[in-house]
Amino acid sequence: MTGTVAGPARTLALDPFTGTGGKTLSGFHLRYRVIGDERAARENGWILVFHALTGSADVEQWWGPLIGPGRALDTTRHAIVAANLLGSCYGSTGPREWRETSATPFPDLTPGDLALSHFQLLEQLGVERVALATGGSLGGMVALEWGRLSPVPVDRLVVFAAPAATSAQAIAWNAAQRMAIEADPEGGLAAARAIAMITYRSAGEFTARFGRESSRTPGRFDVDHYLRRQGDKLVARFHAESYLSLMRAMDLHDVGELSGAARETAQRVRDVVGVGVDTDILYPAGEVRQWVEAYRSAGAAARYHEIASLYGHDAFLIEWDQVERVLRGE
């Protein structure tokens, strides 16, 4: 993020709003950040970024190589707006905070609800046009819903590694993680992360990176050591309740009938790009291609792009050159 000064975190108390299921959602606040030139953004459009499951509003921590003057997320021409999604644990309202002030359980939120919660944020910032709305995985689901719901025009919508609806297979992976957490919230979160990492990467990467070696811990395969280390790292920085809440949102993801979703999106978005990853086992590339083709058939200006990678689902967080080209529209 060379040459860019990131703004401080800010908090916006949200007025009650109507969720995608028609229920009034209240008692929430968003923690968000603005990175870049707000004056330039008023002329050239803003960039709206949605984070993945355990990400945050600190976009430079996970997409840093893409941010800065002259880069795909050009902070001299635009300002990046990113909020911590509701339900997460980095400053926006999540289950732990909710429990301290409410006698009712934290509500189930859909990716559509997470998109709707940004409406007041854009109004607060005076955003009248979004040059780019983007995100990957859960963030891609929220971005896809943003295309249907945006209160302002969007030049380009770029959705990385996200289907139109979560498959039974993906829900099953989440169910296994949920069972681990329900059995033991701390140790279970570590186990859940290990399960998730298997879906985030590819068999080819595991073979090339670890093989059957046991060089890290005596008597333990290196891939076992890696998964345990990933689990420990997540436990140190994330809350199990937030993990469950956001996994539930991913399970509930469904934009509905595709031609209708396409028409809604076409009214708001000039260009739509769906990006699959050829080795993604969590949300296979074919699922992304399917909704792109359905959107295009229904009249939306949609096109498909595929990232070639050894790294599986996580390629949108690793393959900087390919992600850069996609975001630039090359």
Distance in angstroms (rounded) separating the CA atoms of residues 314 and 278: 11
What strands lie across the sheet with 302-307, from one edge to the other?
10-13, 29-36, 79-83, 46-50, 130-136, 154-160, 269-277, 302-307
β-strands 302-307, 269-277 pairing: parallel
Could you list the active site residues? 137, 280, 313
Cβ–Cβ under 8 Å, residues 188 and 240: yes
Cβ–Cβ under 8 Å, residues 271 and 155: yes
Phi and psi at residue 207, to the nearest 5°:
-65, -45
Cβ–Cβ under 8 Å, residues 67 and 1: yes
Torsion, Cα of 54, 180, 178, 172 (10° steps): 110
Contacts 24+ apart (CB under 8 A), 171-174: 171/251, 173/199, 173/282, 174/247, 174/250, 174/251
Sign of CA dihedral 169, 56, 193, 210: positive
Distance in angstroms (rounded) separating the CA atoms of residues 98 and 117: 16
SS3 content of the chain, % helix, strand, coil (to 5): 45, 20, 35
Distance in angstroms (rounded) separating the CA atoms of residues 294 and 148: 14
Torsion, Cα of 46, 285, 71, 3 (10° steps): 80
The token duo for 204 is 């080819």
Distance in angstroms (rounded) separating the CA atoms of residues 235 and 215: 24
